[in-house]
Structure 1
Amino acid sequence: MTLLIIVTFAVVYLGMAIGHLPRLKVDRTGIAMLGAIVLLVAGAVTEGAAIKAIDFPTLFILLGLMILSAQFALSGFYDWCAWRLANVPWRPEALLAAVVVVAGGLSALLANDVVVFAMTPLLCAGLRARGLDARPYLIALAGAANAGSAATVIGNPQNILIGQLGHLGFWRFLFACGVPAFLSLVIVYWVVARVWRGRLSDGQAPALVNRGEGPPDAPRAWQLSKGLIGVVVLLVAFTTAFPRDVAVLGIAGCMLVSRRFASRDMLGLVDWHLLALFAGLFILTGALADTGLPGQLVDQLAASGLALDRLPFLGAFSVLASNSIGNVPAVVLLMKVWAHPPEGALYALALFSTLAGNLLLPGSLANIITVERAAAVGVTLGFRDHARCGVPMTVLSLLLATVWLLAMGYIAAV
């Protein structure tokens, strides 16, 4: 069975790197689920072992945050923010800065994937109505969402997993990662503004959209307040010893109790594909870990001087894995085989895996969501367009993060 587990694991992660199964319409989530199903059907993993391998507290936190974010989406807050950004009477450079600030700020407290999912279409419509090329603003939106999400333990799925398994406090995490995340937002703005300098005002004809379309309704005051109260309660709960998953689910339950929004609509905004992806990967990596091979590999790396908590490994692994199999699968894999990671190394992993996602389009789910949502409204953001900004913003962000982590003593250089 060990051979079957190894082969299945290799095929699944190769499929993750490609993004789909050749000649089949099976995406990353489907690949992960199929891999888990193969192991279960073949008897390589029992039902009990599969359930035990799944980290349900992490899934509960993700689910709760998605429902909390759905409260903001249904209140009209995201639509209103996107419209205001696209229609504020500022110069293109100031508008670009506003996109970075709003996307980064929202992503630090809410799931970055949901933020770009909600904001991309209306932002595109508003920019095109003004005759602006939406591409640099979309690059800034995705880049800022990734960079801003690196600041907190609830900013993105991989941080949630790292924080949950490493028992990292919200405010300690913010202190460790907040400064490089903020500096990365500055870098995102500077790089996009410089690469697209002189062309931020260039765009397609305003006639491509209906100028008669009015702005969306203002956010519903009570529903927005309800979401804000939920965020405040969440932050307070994270400073106590109360179980995080229970606290987040409790807040999500309060969001579902509504006279205006149907629970079906709120649950419809949950990214069930991401939750299924996590579950499948938990089963696969758990089965591989049970073979003992990953532990032996870790011991051999340490014996050769390439310890997991050192800068060379964390940096190389984060950049290569995040831009091949994706940062979420990469972190799930590493956390499964890393027995007792130091706290400082976990901060480094969170920063590196998140910031590395800006390098290329497949590097993060936020990038992919932005491209797909933009394409749905007629705006094409190509691989090369993104890479022209993604490569320099990632290199500079990772350099600053490395200097910060070394200066604060979170990781060792060698």
Structure 2
Amino acid sequence: MIATIITIHLFFATVYLVIKEPEVVVKNKKVVLDYARVSLGVLGLLLASGIASLTTIKSAIMPQMNIVPWQILIIFFGSAYICGSLDASGVLKLIAYKFASVSKNGKRLFINLVLLAGILTVFTSNDIVTLTLTPIIVYISQYTNINPMPYLIAVFFASNTWSMFFYIGNPTNVVVAQAYSLNFMEYAKLMFFPTIVAILTSFFGFYFKYRNILPGKLNIAFIRENSRVELQSFIKDTKYTFLSTGFFVLFFITIAIGDLIGLQLWKSILLFSGIYLLLNTAFSDVLSERDEIVVEIGGFEYNLTFLFDTVKRVPWKMLPLVLTFFVFVHIFTRFGITRYVGSLFNFQNELIATIITTFTTAFAANVMINQPMTIFFAQAFYKKPINYAMSLIVGSNIGGNITLIGALAGVMWSRILKFYGIEMNNKIFVRETFFVALLVLFTTSIAIYMVYML
């Protein structure tokens, strides 16, 4: 009992510190307790108290009810590396320029970007689309001298909404599908109508929110005048850009047809992460702009700075955070908390059950990140009716649109924007998305209930 109480207190303390990121003074130096330091500290406390052991940590990422957490880690960090490598080639800047050139006004650009994000998400995954399109939107805003915020928010929300169509759209969908033994077509049949409702609600919600600040016309002359010279410097090496783009297209196709050819998503991402690692190594000497990491090979000096720069773009600091939450979920299950929470979800009215489950899981994602949250509730809802599974899917996807810590992509997205000099914190994000997120959760809950009753 004491161990359970300590674990719960440590869990909420972790959530608070991750959101707050307080500063402490150590030897007259300010040290920020970011999510990596907090997570490692909490893991240390769990180990020191005897509540967890190294075996516990290992078990936390091992298969549980057909759910495999370590595969989720490969999917997330591998996707980040692949997309970061593509951006390093310069091709996304070129795409952004071309895309802005054909969009005559801000409203058309808004519609085009949301549709592009949605369609890409249907065939790949939300994380990949967010990582790929974010730099493009930033570059477009630079070329056209417009406010990127409406486009960034709408595209981020769209990628976390269209992702519900198929289970390849989000790793959390895979978790629920595995837990309920749903195949590709069974999943798609259940989630088609709720996803359509969510898409329409979110699109019109953001369109009406931003319609008065979207520019009437894009300054195409500004683009052409200021980008003609820059375009020559976009592509650092033609061969590398060609190969990087070609492999990404192949990667995109492989993910889209992976279910048909029996190739799991994590295997596809692991394969192409290896390909990009080799590609970046081969071209590192040509593309390196600094001499920070130079090694001697066979009497020749080889510059590996570019290779290390692409690897550093991956948000590795998030690894201890995710691992810590997986450990918490595993401990909760061991202590019986998961089973107890599941017993609370017994409602006589299925509409109320659907609405409460959708909202509860969505907000729970913002307490424990959507992947661990989904594993937790998938175990808690074991053998419950299918509408609970559908609500969990919606909660895990839309929950990532409420705060930045609702999904791993949100945290990484804010770091990417910081890389480009755009501030995105929880206060800004919640202000922009909260009302639309609540509206989407409610309308989609109604849609789930209709599908379930029919």
TM-score range, shorter chain: 0.7 to 0.9
Following superposition, the deviation at residue 342 of structure 1 comes to 4.7
Q: What residue number does 1:214 align with?
A: 231
Q: What residue number does 1:278 align with?
A: 322
Following superposition, the deviation at residue 95 of structure 1 comes to 0.5
Q: What residue number does 2:401 align with?
A: 358
The alignment status of 1:151 with 2:185, answered yes or no, reads: no
Question: After the TM superposition, which residues 245-256 of structure 1 pair with which residues of structure 2 at under 5 Å, given as runs?
Answer: 245-246=266-267, 249-250=270-271, 252-253=273-274, 256=277
Query: When the two structures are superposed, what TM-score results if normalisation uses the length of structure 2?
Result: 0.73
CA contact (8 A) 2:122 2:162 kept: yes
2:134 and 2:256 map into 1 onto residues whose CA distance is 27
Bigger Rg over Cα: 2
1:27 and 1:410 map into 2 onto residues whose CA distance is 46
Following superposition, the deviation at residue 90 of structure 1 comes to 1.9
State the AA in 2 paired with 1:290: R
Residue 8 of structure 1, aligned match among 10, 13, 22: 10
Taking a change above 3 Å as real, the CA distance of residues 345 and 271 of structure 1, as seen in their structure-2 partners, is: farther
Higher relative contact order (CA 8 A, sep 6+): 1
State the AA in 2 paired with 1:214: L
For structure 1, the 5+ residue unaligned runs are none
Following superposition, the deviation at residue 366 of structure 1 comes to 4.0
Aligned CA RMSD, in angstroms, stands at 4.0
Residue 189 of structure 1, aligned match among 203, 217, 236: 203
Taking a change above 3 Å as real, the CA distance of residues 385 and 28 of structure 1, as seen in their structure-2 partners, is: closer
Q: Aligned pair count?
A: 408
CA contact (8 A) 1:66 1:270 kept: yes
Q: What residue number does 2:446 align with?
A: 403
Q: What residue number does 2:300 align with?
A: none
- Identity over the aligned pairs, expressed in percent? 18
Secondary structure of residue in 2 paired with 1:97: helix
2:346 and 2:386 map into 1 onto residues whose CA distance is 21
1:383 and 1:210 map into 2 onto residues whose CA distance is 33
For structure 2, the 5+ residue unaligned runs are 25-30, 285-306
Secondary structure of residue in 2 paired with 1:214: helix
State the AA in 1 paired with 2:359: A
Taking a change above 3 Å as real, the CA distance of residues 113 and 79 of structure 1, as seen in their structure-2 partners, is: farther
1:342 and 1:316 map into 2 onto residues whose CA distance is 17
CA contact (8 A) 2:97 2:143 kept: no
After superposition, what is the alpha-carbon deviation per residue over 1:25-48, rounded to whole angstroms, capped at 9, x for unaligned? 233444344323211222222322
After superposition, what is the alpha-carbon deviation per residue over 1:171-222, rounded to whole angstroms, capped at 9, x for unaligned? 4333333443344344433233322223211899979x96553273489444
Secondary structure of residue in 2 paired with 1:191: helix
Q: What residue number does 2:45 align with?
A: 38
After superposition, what is the alpha-carbon deviation per residue over 1:310-332, rounded to whole angstroms, capped at 9, x for unaligned? 31431231243234554345334
Question: After the TM superposition, which residues 335-346 of structure 1 pair with which residues of structure 2 at under 5 Å, given as runs?
Answer: 335-346=378-389
State the AA in 2 paired with 1:283: V
2:218 and 2:385 map into 1 onto residues whose CA distance is 51
Moved more, 338-347 or 87-96: 338-347
Q: What residue number does 2:112 align with?
A: 98
CA contact (8 A) 1:71 1:266 kept: no
Query: When the two structures are superposed, what TM-score results if normalisation uses the length of structure 1?
Result: 0.79
CA contact (8 A) 2:345 2:353 kept: no
Q: What residue number does 1:228 align with?
A: 249
Following superposition, the deviation at residue 141 of structure 1 comes to 2.0
2:336 and 2:429 map into 1 onto residues whose CA distance is 40
CA contact (8 A) 2:378 2:389 kept: no
Taking a change above 3 Å as real, the CA distance of residues 131 and 385 of structure 1, as seen in their structure-2 partners, is: same
2:258 and 2:132 map into 1 onto residues whose CA distance is 27
